[in-house]
Amino acid sequence: MPVTSSHVLLTEALNLYSQAEVASYCGRDIRTVRRWHSEQRCPKIAEGALREMLNAKTRRRSKDSAANFRFIDLFAGIGGIRQGFETHGGRCVFTSEWNDFSKKTYEANFQDDSEQHEFIGDIVSFSKDAIPAHDVLLAGFPCQPFSIAGVSKKNSLGRPHGFACNTQGTLFYDVANIINAKRPAAFLLENVKNLLSHDKGNTFQTILDVLRHELKYDVHYKIIDGQHFTPQHRERIVIVGFREKTDFSFDDLRLPAEGPRLRSILHKTDGTEPILEHDENRYFDHSSRSVQARYTLTPKLWTYLQAYAEKHRAAGNGFGFGLVTPDSVTRTLSARYHKDGSEILCAQGKGKRPRRLTPRECARLMGFPDSFVIPVSDTQAYRQFGNSVVVPVMQEVARIMVPHVAIVTSKEMSN
């Protein structure tokens, strides 16, 4: 049975590492780790770090042996989907990400052997034949409008049929082309919830038709809200497909009925905030036990946001800023958060201006462990986390996918 309990994860970690190592990796002190273990109450927010520790140990043990399965990471961003699949024994053999800032963050956190792993920019211009064999294709592909007008005319002119006609020029087309060429045992595609309703559902129907009828994969999809695992309302559609018919079901997901609240990811002002070597005092001043002052809104910006919200309230609209407290579940973190932080503003007490989340808090909000390095500017970091996936969601989807991947690949080997 796959491990899901935070306390069991902690126990396994303590069997492999010292209390000091676990405390450092989780960004806590030794006394806290001891309390977690003795009370058998390890917080959900620590799961990511614990899984990464266990996965790191597994990688070291099996460095010279084959992983359970191989996967490629397309439109990789900063590696959120990859983290979920590495947790369950996968090895990344190829990555594509065009944004140089995202690539910098990705490479700072995933130390791949360049001889065994190729990292490219634009997947569109890359030869699909040069992509290595893999068992699972992962892609958080951007959603572009599909122009399917004029298909009949193209057909009458003898132009390409199927997905080569309906999706040509979209990034989904490039994903479909790779699936068609490489025939991986499985794939996972992730996108915004609105993909379902785009163009009155025609875009999503085209995607399903390509995956099911053109490529002949057994396809399942589900909208999953990240707030089951982190204190953020973030709905995303996850599309999973297998080369052969399987018993896979999203009903097997274990989604906690009640997720954590915002206090679980906020910087601690009681002296327990971890000192992270890769952060130093960039986000949090440990000497004063306070978040750096630059994250508090300026008087001018705070006045503007209040006036903007009042204007829309008067007009009967719901637009405005989102003021949150430690007991809150936030709105969806967006890539525009760097502009004014309006969707998630942390209250700092009566008469005080609110503040933005720091990039480290945004990383935690997305489920990244404190060991995750942020080597870019605040502006780029906000964009990256706003575009990322909720890592524990990917870990949970990977958990229920991997056994079926193994079944499909084992059938291939026996034939």
Residue 372 near residue 364 (C-beta atoms within 8 A): no
Looking at this protein, which amino acid is placed at residue 152? S
Overall size of the chain counted in residues: 415
CB contact burial 350-372 (16+ within 10 A = b; e otherwise): eeeebbbbbbbbbbbbbbbbbbb
Is 143 an annotated catalytic residue?
Answer: yes
Radius of gyration, alpha carbons of the chain:
22
| Residue among 130, 43, 120, 109 at smallest CA distance from 74 | 120
Q: Which amino acid is at 278?
A: H
Task: Supply φ then ψ for residue 124, to 5 degrees.
Answer: -60, -40
d(Cα 343, Cα 329) in Å, to the nearest integer? Answer: 12
Do residues 318 and 377 touch, judged by C-beta distance below 8 A? no
Residue of 122, 404, 394 whose CA lies nearest to 246? 404
Provide the pairing of β-strand 136-139 with 284-285. unpaired
What does the alpha-carbon distance between residue 139 and residue 154 come to, in Å, rounded to a whole number?
A: 29
User: Would you call 233 exposed, middle or buried from its count of C-beta atoms within 10 A (0-12, 13-18, 19+)?
Assistant: middle
Out of 143, 165, 346, 362, the active site residue is: 143
Give the H or E element holding residue 310.
Answer: helix 299-314
DSSP readout, 83-117?
A: HHHHTTTEEEEEEE---HHHHHHHHHH----TTT-
Give the count of beta carbons closer than 10 Å to the beta carbon of residue 348: 15
Best CA proximity match to 24, nearest among 399, 332, 369: 369
**Pairing of the two strands 218-225 and 235-242:** antiparallel
Which sequence positions are flagged as catalytic? 143
